[in-house]
Amino acid sequence: MTRHTRPDADRRPRRATRGGDRSATFGAGRRAVVLVVSTSGYAGEAEDATGPLLAGWLGERGYRVDAPQIVPDGPAVGNALRRHVLDGPEEERPRVIVTTGGTGLAPEDTTPEETRSILDKEATGIVQALVDHGLAKLPEAAMSRGTAGACDRTFVVNLPGSVGGVKDGITILDPILHHIQAQLENVGDGVHAPRGRAAEADAALPATEPFSVLPSPEPVGGSPAAVEPVGGSPAAVEPMPEPFAWGRVTNEPLDLTAAEARVKTPQTGALAVFHGVVRDHDSGRDDVVGLAYTAHPQAQSVLDEVLAEAVADHPGVRMSVEHRIGELRVGEDALLVTVASAHRREAFTACAELVDRVKARVPIWKRQDYSDGGHDWVGVE
C-alpha cells in the first residue's frame, strides 16, 4: 500500500497542545452536577463510589460541584435532569451534568431514554469514543447504551455505574471537556474563534419559553393508526400523551402559568389544578398569620419517587408538582399540582391521588404562626 502525504510546504503547523491551550481549572465560575442512578443506593442498600470520583475530577477542573445526588432508576432520572436544566436563573444552571449508572440492558436501565428527553443535540462521536475505549479492556463495554449531548449550554453525558467505567469516561472526557464548554458558551478556546454572524443571528431571535426542552408532545410511534371497527368505517385510535412528570421543592413563588405550560400539549383535553393555600385558621384557632415550611434533605428525592409511582399508575397523564418552603403569609400558595390528560375524569383522579401522596409522604413540616406571637409545629412526630 502506498501512503500519500502532503508536501511539507502545504502542511498546516500543528499546535503544541492538543485541543488548544487551557488552564487546569477551566471550569472555574461554573457549576457541575453528578447524578448517581442507583435504586439500591437510593434505598441505602449499596454504597456508591462513582459519585465522589466524578465530583473530585470536576472539582479539580475548577467547577463548583454539588454533592453527588443519588436517584432511583426510571422517571426520577428525567425529573432530576429537567430540574437542573430548567430551574433557577440561567447563569446558575450547571454547565456539566455527568450521570453514572442505568445505561445497561436491564429492564430498569432507562437513563439514556430519560437523558434524550432533554437534549437539543446528541454527541454521537463522544459516545463512540467512550465505547471504543472500554472495548479495549472489556468486551461487555459494547452493552453500554449511554448517550451524550447538549441542552442549551449544558453538556450532559451518561457513564456506566462501575468505578472502572467512570475512570474510562474521565480519560476520554478530560482532554475535550474544555472544548465542549467553549463551543456551548460560544467563546474562543484557543483553537476555534467564536461564531460570528451565526451568533449574531441567534441573538436576534426572540427568547424561547423556559420549558422548550420538554419531551415532544407527539404520541409514541408517530401518527395515530387507523383501525377498522365493527361498523365498517375506519376510526382513528386516540393517541396517548407521552408520559411526563416534573417536580421540585422550592423557596420561590409558585407560577400557575408556567406549570400549565409545562404539562399542556396539543393532545390535552383537560387540566386539573390543585392549589394548597395558607389559610387563617387551623387547630381550633382563627388567628393564623402565616406558615414556615421546612424540608428534610431527602424531600426532593422522595418527591421524585412519588412522581415515578404516579406516572406508572396513570400513564396517560402529564404531571407537575411544586411545594414551597420558607415563610409564607395567609393567601399564598404552598403546593401547586397540575395534571393534564385527554379527559377530565382521569385528570381529576390523578390530581387528587398525587396531592394525597405528596402530603402523606414528602417530608416537609410547617410551623404555624399566630397573631399573638405564638406558634405550633405541624407534621413533626
CATH code where residue 256 lies: 3.90.1170.40
The owner of cell 422522595 is 302
Residue given cell 383535553 in the structure block = 269
Together in a domain, 65 and 174? yes
Query: Is 27 in the same domain as 170?
Result: yes
pTM score, two decimals?
0.51
C-alpha cell recorded at residue 310: 404516579
Measured in degrees and rounded to the nearest 5, phi and psi for residue 337 equal -120, 125
| Pairing assessment for the beta strands 318-324 and 244-250 based on DSSP bridges | parallel
The answer to whether residues 306 and 180 belong to one domain is no
49 lies in the same domain as 100? yes
342 and 193 assigned to the same domain? no
Contact between 84 and 156 under an 8 Å Cβ cutoff? The reply is no
For residue 272, the enclosing domain spans: 241-378
Strand 121-122 to 64-65 pairing: unpaired
Asked if residue 213 belongs to a domain, the reply is no
- pLDDT for 375 equals 86
Of 152, 183, 204, the one marking the end of a domain is 204
Distance of alpha carbon 212 from alpha carbon 207, whole angstroms: 10
Q: Which residues contact 284 (CB under 8 A, 6 or more apart)?
A: none
Considering only CA atoms, which of 221, 73, 243 is closest in space to residue 161? 73
Rounded distance, CA 133 to CA 235, Å? 51
> At a CB cut-off of 8 Å and minimum separation 6, what does 155 contact?
95, 96, 97, 148, 149, 177, 180, 181, 184
Cα separations (Å) of 209 from 86, 198, 237, 271, 293?
10, 21, 31, 20, 30
pLDDT number for residue 241: 57
Q: N- to C-terminal Cα distance for the chain?
A: 80
Whether residue 300 lies inside any domain: the answer is yes
Is the residue at 16 inside a domain? Answer: no
Contact assessment for residue 288 and residue 282, using Cβ atoms and an 8 Å cutoff: yes
Residue 7 belongs to a domain: no
For every one of its 381 residues, what pLDDT tens digit does the chain have, with 9 covering 90 and above?
A: 444 444 444 444 333 333 433 677 788 889 999 999 999 989 888 889 999 999 999 999 999 998 899 999 998 999 899 989 887 677 789 999 999 999 999 999 999 999 999 999 999 999 999 999 988 888 888 899 999 999 989 999 999 999 999 999 999 999 999 989 988 887 544 444 444 433 333 333 333 232 222 333 333 333 333 333 334 444 444 555 567 889 999 999 999 999 999 999 988 999 999 999 999 998 788 899 999 999 898 889 999 999 999 988 888 899 999 999 999 999 999 999 999 999 999 999 999 999 999 999 999 999 999 999 888 887 655
Closest Cα to residue 208, out of 339, 79, 148, 120? 120
User: 151, 178, 204 — which closes off a domain?
Assistant: 204
Same structural domain, 196 and 270: no
Q: What per-residue confidence (pLDDT) applies to 182?
A: 87
pLDDT of residue 43: 85
32 forms bridges with which residues in the sheet? Answer: 65, 96
Point out the domain boundary residue: 177, 204, 231: 204
Whether residue 226 lies inside any domain: the answer is: no
> Is the residue at 308 inside a domain?
yes
Residues 145 and 247 in one domain: no
Residue 46 pLDDT? 86
Q: How far apart are CA 58 and CA 178, in angstroms?
A: 11
Cβ partners under 8 Å of residue 287, min gap 6: 280, 281, 370, 371, 372
Residues 131 and 197 in one domain: yes
CATH number at residue 28: 3.40.980.10
232 within a domain of the structure (yes/no): no
Q: If you write DSSP's letter for every residue of 291-350 in order, what string do you get?
A: EEEEE-TTHHHHHHHHHHHHHHH-TT-EEEEEEE-EEEETT-EEEEEEEEESSHHHHHHH
260 and 195 in a single domain? The answer is no
For 26, counting Cβ atoms within 10 Å of its Cβ (0-12 exposed, 13-18 middle, 19+ buried), the class is middle
Of 153, 53, 30, the closest CA to residue 101 belongs to: 53
246 and 200 part of one domain: no
Which pLDDT score, from 0 to 100, does residue 66 have?
83
Q: Is residue 348 part of a domain?
A: yes
Residue 353 CB partners (closer than 8 Å, separation 6+): 310, 313, 314
Does residue 169 sit in the same domain as residue 251? no
Residues 251 and 367 in one domain: yes
Give whole-number Cα distances, 161 to 48, 97, 103, 232, in Å.
9, 15, 8, 53
Domain count, the chain: 2
